[in-house]
A and B are shown apart, each in its own frame.
Chain A
Amino acid sequence: MRRVNRNERVRIALTLNGRRLSAEAEPRMLLSDFLRHGLGATGTHVGCEHGVCGSCTVLIDGVAQRSCLTLAVQAEGREVRTVESLAAPDGTLNPLQQAFRANHALQCGFCTPGILMSFTDYLARNPKPTIEQIRDVLSGHLCRCTGYAGIVAAIEEVAKR
């Protein structure tokens, strides 16, 4: 039984984008804060901290979820993937990222990492989604810049490949 008392800072180890990493956290620390400020993975963004906007979406053991609604200690020992893992080591964008660029699917880019992570999970389960399915999954994210059209087009493009 793992127990961590309040105000007790313990070392939390997890796998982030293939690397075994750890940092200290108290039990109440949100995974979003832990990733950004504990492990320095600032690509994951915080937009609402109540689970609506979707900016902080990451993969835990391959499953897309809100890192603001997850405690860091809950991710202990898990495999976490964030947007920093998507491009090749030399910086080459993966097909989903490339499609976002080609379809002007981002402007300020703040909500984008969460959307990329959601669809990294979803397209792995359903590589050929319908446009309705794309919109259904995308509705778990808020974007204020684009009006969403470019995002839908980008994902459709990937789905058609």
Chain B
Amino acid sequence: MKPRPFDYVRPDTVEEVLELLAEYGDDARVLAGGQSLLPMLNLRLLEPSLLIDISRLAALDTIHDRGDAIEIGAAVTQNKLMSWAPLQQKLPLVALALNHVGHFQTRNKGTVCGSIAHADPSAELPLVLALLGGEVVLQSRRGTFTLAAADFHQDMLTTARKADELVAAVRFPVVSRQGVAFQEVARRHGDFAIIAVAAVMQDAGQARVGVGGMAGRPLLREIKVERAAEAIGAWADELEGHEDLHASGALRRAIFKRLGPPVIAAASTAKVGGTA
């Protein structure tokens, strides 16, 4: 379990990162926290010719309050965001979800943007970003573009990022006056979810609900709180449900049916500022 050979580069500026991405494209991989990338390298599942280490770039290690959204740079670790003082107030749903992301030790290194760029269909952060209608900031020598999370995350481990682009930041819209809730079922504490459900209240008894683990990417829907069980049931029945070693599609549907309504109920009764 040793990686194949690769060149390593630790640029001093974001511009250098973009130069290298422009030059190497798909042959390069960006190394931020490495909590998903290094296992794949150790298992020889990847053969990048260049690793671009951005973990020391101070310019990317920033949490920026833009007023309507919080912008989190590509080098920001999950634990750094967890201990960001205004998190609970500004991004209560993200605060809830982060508790379920890996372990203390992996969150120390794993980045928020890395999780979103990795695009695991069961991962918590892509689900929350999609549900909140967040954005992904992509930078390249060609310029800076933003993509809606729903457009960014296309399928299992597949995103709209182009080969020369850096996921430079993600933007979570500030949601502080709506009830939110997040729950998941995993085989073991800290594992990727079998099913993760998140909800954020809209106007007039309406919840926006997201589910991870059912398909290749997070699925979203608006649901009336009073008809939650019925609506989730119908929604689950429309879906095949991802099938793997740990859960059949049928089990995933069943868990979603049972996990969805209480999450919606929790969101609808949550103190503003968020609770599980």
Contact = CB atoms under 8 A, between A and B. Distances in A.
| Touch between chains A and B, by CB atoms below 8 Å | yes
A contacts with B: majority SS: mixed
A51 B51 contact: no
Nearest to A139: B189
Given A3-B9, A30-B3, A30-B38, 7 more contacts: A3-B7, A4-B7, A27-B7, A30-B42, A51-B106, A57-B105, A64-B105
Contacts of A101: none
Interface string B55-68: 10000000000000
B42 A68 contact: yes
Given A3-B8, A139-B103, A74 B53 contact: yes
B8 A4 contact: yes
B108 A64 contact: yes
B104 A140 contact: yes
A26 interface: yes
Nearest to A46: B1
Interface of A: 1-7, 26-28, 30, 33, 49-51, 54, 57, 63-66, 68-71, 73-74, 118, 121-122, 135-137, 139-141
A136 B189 CA distance: 8
A51 B10 contact: no
Contacts of A4: 7-9
B6 A65 contact: no
A3 B2 CA distance: 20
A136 B12 CA distance: 36
B205 interface: no
Given A49-B42, A66-B105, A68-B38, A26 B9 contact: no
For the complex of A and B, 6 pairs with smallest distance between CB atoms: A140-B103, A27-B8, A6-B5, A69-B38, A50-B39, A2-B10
Contact of A30 (B2, B11, B108): B2
A70 B6 contact: no
Contacts of A71: 8, 31, 34, 38, 51
Contacts of B108: 63-65, 121
Contacts of A135: 189
A1 B3 contact: no
